[in-house]
Structure 1
Amino acid sequence: MLPVGYTWLIERYRLKVRPLVHQSFIGPKMLRREHSDGTVEEHYSRQYQPGESALEHLVFALKYDGVDLDIFHKVFQHITPSEIAEFVAQTPSGRFARQIGCWYEKLTSQKVPLTVRVMGNYEPLLDSEAYVTARNPARNPRWRILDNTIGSRRFLPLIRKTPAIRKAEETDWRMMISQALGTPSRDSLYRALSYLYFKETKSSFAIEREEAGAARTDKFVAALHRAGFEENPLTESVLTLLQNIIVDERYRESGFRISQNYVGQTTINLREIIHSLGVPPSSLPSLMEGLAEFFRASEDFPPVLRAATISFAFVFVHPFEDGNGRIHRYLIHDVLARSQIGGNGLLLPVSAEILQHMHLYDLCLEKFSKPLVAAADYSLDEAGVLSVQNPGEIEGFYRYPDLTPQCEFLAQMLERTIQVAIPEELRFLQKLDQARRAVTEIVDMPDRKRDQLLKRLHNNRGTLARSRRETEFPELTDTEISDIERAYREIFAD
C-alpha cells in the first residue's frame, strides 16, 4: 500500500502530529475500515493517485481526509508563497486550489503573489456539513472564499460534526432544563440553587483531590455567582484575579507563567511520569490572546460547544502553575451563564457529574495529552525542571486542536446533570421538607436542632447513632427517636 494525502505528507516531512481521524492509502482495491474510536482507514484504487508534490497531496487530503490545520501549518513551512501562486495559476477557478491559497495566507500571514485573477463562485473554507462553522462567514474577495472559521492563526480550533456533536447542536437545552426543573416552589428552587453552587465548588476541588476549607469554598462560590459578568473572562488580568481567589494564598501568581510546566506523577522509585505539558512559555502570550479573540468572535457558537472549546483549550494551555483545573471548570459556567440556557442564576453542577465519571474525564484529557507528550522532545533535571527542545513542533497541538472529543464529553455530562442530578436534588429537598414537617409533628424542637438531627439521620442511613443520641439529643425519649427514625425512613424509602 502507498500512503496518500496526510499519510504521505507526514512521512514526507517527518511530521509529529496527533493521530489522524482519516488515513488514506493507494491499494489494489477500494476498502474502508471504520474503527471503534471513530477513526477511519480507507484504501483507494490507483486512479486516485495524485502527483508527487505536497500541494497535490494537500488537495487529496481536502477531498478525502478532511481538514487538519496543524498538518497544513507544518507543511506550509516547506512551501513558498511563489509555489502557491504557481499552483493556483494552473486552476484559478478551482475550489481546492483557492482554499489552499486562503489557508496559506491565514495560517502563515504571508501574502501569495498571485499572477492570475482568481475566479469561480464563492466557496466555504470549511464544509459546514462536516464541521461546526460560523453562522455569518466573512467574504474573502481575493480568493472568492467564504471564511466560516472562528479564530485566527493564534488559535483556530475545529469541531467535527459527529452524531454526538449534531445532537448537542440540535438539543433545546433550555427546554430540557425547564422539563427537569418542573414547577418547584420558589423557596425550594432557591435552596436547590444555593446547594448546587456549594456542591459544584466542593466537586471541583475534589476532582483535584483537594479539600477546600470554608474560606476558599466561600470565595469560589462567590466567584461562581459572578460568572458571566466580566466583558472577557480570558484576559490575563481577569484570569489572574480568579487564580488568586481559588488557590492557597502562598501560590498566588501575578500573571501568566514564564516557565515550562507539566502535569506528572512520581512513581515508587521516584521516577517522574509526564501526563501532560502546558504550552511552551514562548508561545503562551500569543496563544492566550488567540483564545481571548476566539471568545469575542464565537458569540453565535452553540453555547455548550463554545463552553467546551474555551474551557478545554484553557486547561490544555495551562497558563498558571496552580489552579488551572478549577478555572477550566469555572469557565464552563461562565460561558453557559452568558447564554442563559438555564435562566438567571441557575448553575449546572457539571463538576459533580464529572466526579462520578472520572474515568471518562481522564480519557477526554488523554485524547489531547497522550499524542502531545509523545511528540514532545523534553528533558527533566533532578530539580524537576522540564525543558522542551522542540517547541515549534508541538505548538500546533495547542493552536489548531481538534476539540471534538472534549465537546462530546461536556455535552454528555451536561445532559446527565440536567436529566439526573438536578431532578434528584429537587426530589431530595422536597423529601427533606416532608421530613422537617414529620419531625415537628413528633417533637416541636428549634429549627437548627431539628436540621442537625436530620443531618445525623441522613449520614447514618436513617438511624441515630447511640453516641449522637446521648451527647447531642439527650432530651429526646426513646419513643420519640424511634418515631422520628421510622418517619425518616418511610419518606426516604426509595
Structure 2
Amino acid sequence: MAAGTQNRFSGAVTVFHEHRLPERATPAGYAALIDAYGLRVPWPRRLWATSERHKVYSEGGWRLLTPRHAPPATLEGHLTFALKYEGLDLAVLKRLFQAVGPAAVAALVRAKPTGRYARRIWFLYEWLLGAQLPLGDATQGNYVPVVDPALQWTGEGEASPRHRVTNNLPGTPSFCPLVSRTETLDALVGLDLAARARAVIDTVPQGVLSRTAAFLLLKDSRSSYAIEGEHPPQDRIQRWGRAIGEAGQHPLDLDELLRLQRIVIGDARFVELGLRREGGFVGARDHSMRPLPEHVSACPEHLRDLVEGMIAFDRGPAAHIDPVIAAAVLAFGLIYVHPFEDGNGRIHRYLIHHVLAERGFNPPGLVFPVSAVMLEEIDRYRAVLEDYSRRLLPVIDWRATESGNVAVLNNTADFYRFFDATPHAEFLYHCVWRTIERDLPQEAEFLRRYDAFCRRIEQLVDMPERTLDLLFRFLQQNGGRLSKRAREREFAQLSASEVASAERIYGDLFRSDTGY
C-alpha cells in the first residue's frame, strides 16, 4: 500500500491500541502515523484525536480537537497536524522516515516546495537520517524555526539555507531530548530563581553562609547515597560531597565521568569500572534469577556514542537553554542510558549540580541540595523516572542471559537520544524551587538561632564549644528538656537553676511554633 493513501489510516474508534478514548474519535498526528506504519516506538505522553463534537478538551491522556481540525488521511496531513499541534517527537519521526523511505518524503516536499511544514519535514529527514533527499536547495519561502517555540523549548537558532529554516533544535542527532512548554514550567522559569537565591544569601552573614553551604553540601551527598539505599561510611559521604562542591569546575568528558565513578564506588573490587560491556536493567529477579526489568538500559555497543552525544550537548546546546531545563535533560538522559555497571544514580544527580554551577545559576560555593528533596519526595521522583521507562519497555526486545542479566535484541539507541523530558524538567525545577525557598533560608535561620543559643549559654556558664554543642543536641533530642540521664552524667555540674535557664534559652529560640 503506497504511503499517503487514505485507507492506511483508521477511522473513529473508542479504543486505540489498548488506550481508551474519552469518546468516539479519530486518532490524528503521531498516534495515527504510529498505527498506520506499524512503528515500534514509545508512545507519546499525550495522544491526539479529532472527535465528532465541537469541543476541545483533554482527558485520560488524550487531547481531543473538533471535526474542523481533522487532517487529511495522508502522510502529509498527519505529519503537518503533528508538527502544528504536538511539536516534535524525534524518535517517531526518525522511525517514520525510515519506514516511508526517501521517495515519499521528497514527493511531499516537491508538492509544496515553499510550505513551512514541508521544509521543516525536509530538514528533519536529512538531520535525523544524515542523508540528503534528491532535491535542489530551496530558493523561496521565509525562514521558519524547526522547533515551534510556542510548543517546545528551543536551542540557539542557526540558519539552514538549503531548507530555508532556522535550526533551533536543542541538541544534536546524537542526543536531543525535547521539553514541552507548559504552564508549570513557564511559571517556574518566570520566578527567576537564580536571582531569588542571590537575594536570600545577601541577607545571611558570611560566617553563617559558609557553614550553611557546608551543611547543604553534606546533606546532598548523604541524600544521594540514601536514594540508592546505601549508607556508606562518613568519609565516603564527605569525599563525594567534595566532588559535588567542585561541580562545574571541570569540563565534562568521558574521563571526567570515569573519575566520578571511581569516587562514587570507592571499593571497586566487585565492580567493573568504565562503560558497561554487558546489558543492564533496573528491576528485580524471580526465584530462578530471571530478570524482571522495570527499565532496560541502552545496549553496550551504543554507550560510547550516546555518552559522546550527552557531552556534546553539555558543551554546546545546553549553554543556550534554561539552566534547570538543560540540567534535567542531561541528568535524566544519563540515568536512562545507564552507562555504568554501578554509580549511575549518583552521577546522574551530580550532573544537575554540574550544569547549574557551570551556568552560574547557583551562587558561588553554594550547592542546592536537590537530592534531599528527591529523597523526601521519593515516590514522585520514581514516578518521573518511570514515566518514560513504562512506555519504553514494550518496544525493547530482550532475552535473559545465563548470568541473570538482559541482552537487547533490537536497535534501541534512538529511544535514549530522543525522549520527552517535560516531566523531568518540571520535577527538577520543583526541587530547585524548594531548596531556594525552604532549605536555604531555613538552614541559615537555624544557624543564626544556634549561634544565639551558644552566645546566651556562654553568658550563663563557661563551657567549651564541643560541650555547648552537646548540650544543644541533648535539648534538641528531648523537646527542649535536659533528660535525667544528661543532668546526672554529662551535665551533672550544672545547677538546677542553670539547667532551667538553658532550657528557657532553648525554648525562646526553638519553640515548636517557630518551626525549629
Q: TM-score range by the shorter chain?
A: over 0.9
Q: Which residue of 2 aligns with 1:379?
A: 399
Q: Which residue of 2 aligns with 1:408?
A: 426
Amino acid across the alignment from 2:72: P
User: Greater CA deviation, 83-92 or 199-208?
Assistant: 83-92
Kept in 2: contact 1:27–1:46 (CA 8 A): no
| Residue 99 (str. 1) matches residue 101 (str. 2) | no
- Counterpart of 2:159 (choices 139, 161, 167) is 139
Kept in 1: contact 2:137–2:161 (CA 8 A): no
Distance 1:260 1:91 in 2: 45
Distance 1:285 1:8 in 2: 34
Matches within 5 A, 1:25-424: 25-35=49-59, 39-45=61-67, 48-52=70-74, 54-114=75-135, 117-134=138-155, 136-231=156-251, 233=252, 235-250=253-268, 251=270, 253-266=272-285, 273-297=292-316, 298-381=318-401, 383-390=403-410, 392=411, 394-424=412-442
Q: Which residue of 2 aligns with 1:12?
A: 36
Q: 1:31 to 1:491 in 2, by over 3 A?
A: same
Distance 2:469 2:457 in 1: 10
Q: Which residue of 2 aligns with 1:459?
A: 477
Q: Which residue of 2 aligns with 1:481?
A: 499
Distance 1:427 1:25 in 2: 52
Kept in 1: contact 2:282–2:295 (CA 8 A): yes
Amino acid across the alignment from 2:331: S
Q: 1:117 to 1:237 in 2, by over 3 A?
A: closer
SS of residue paired to 2:163: coil
Q: Which residue of 1 aligns with 2:8?
A: none
Kept in 2: contact 1:236–1:255 (CA 8 A): no
Kept in 1: contact 2:122–2:163 (CA 8 A): yes
TM-score by length of 2: 0.88
Kept in 2: contact 1:240–1:253 (CA 8 A): no
Gaps of 5+ in 2: 1-11, 13-25
Amino acid across the alignment from 1:460: N
Kept in 1: contact 2:160–2:167 (CA 8 A): yes
SS of residue paired to 2:99: coil
Offset, 1:376: 2.1
Kept in 2: contact 1:22–1:42 (CA 8 A): no
Offset, 1:293: 0.9
User: Greater CA deviation, 332-341 or 481-490?
Assistant: 481-490
Offset, 1:268: 8.4
SS of residue paired to 2:220: helix
Q: Which residue of 2 aligns with 1:450?
A: 468
SS of residue paired to 1:315: helix
User: Greater CA deviation, 316-325 or 100-109?
Assistant: 316-325
Distance 1:368 1:460 in 2: 45
Distance 1:327 1:20 in 2: 27
SS of residue paired to 1:25: strand
Amino acid across the alignment from 1:329: R
Amino acid across the alignment from 1:249: D
SS of residue paired to 1:155: coil
Offset, 1:21: 4.3
Q: Which residue of 1 aligns with 2:3?
A: none
Kept in 1: contact 2:221–2:241 (CA 8 A): yes
Kept in 2: contact 1:22–1:66 (CA 8 A): no
Deviation string, structure 1 residues 25-79 (Cα, Å, up to 9, x no partner)? 355344433137xx44224437834244x34432232233322111101111113
Distance 1:140 1:224 in 2: 39
Offset, 1:462: 2.0
Residue-pair matches, total: 486
RMSD in angstroms over aligned alpha carbons? 2.2
Q: Which residue of 2 aligns with 1:436?
A: 454
Amino acid across the alignment from 1:42: L
User: Greater CA deviation, 298-307 or 405-414?
Assistant: 298-307
Amino acid across the alignment from 1:463: R
SS of residue paired to 1:249: coil
Q: 1:272 to 1:164 in 2, by over 3 A?
A: same
Offset, 1:200: 1.1
Q: 1:104 to 1:460 in 2, by over 3 A?
A: same
Gaps of 5+ in 1: none
Distance 2:50 2:64 in 1: 9
Offset, 1:384: 1.6
SS of residue paired to 1:41: strand
Distance 1:129 1:64 in 2: 10
User: Greater CA deviation, 138-147 or 208-217?
Assistant: 208-217
Offset, 1:252: 5.3
SS of residue paired to 1:129: coil
Offset, 1:343: 2.2
Amino acid across the alignment from 2:299: P
Offset, 1:433: 0.7
SS of residue paired to 2:49: strand
Distance 1:43 1:197 in 2: 49
SS of residue paired to 1:282: helix
Kept in 2: contact 1:32–1:40 (CA 8 A): no
Distance 2:394 2:100 in 1: 26
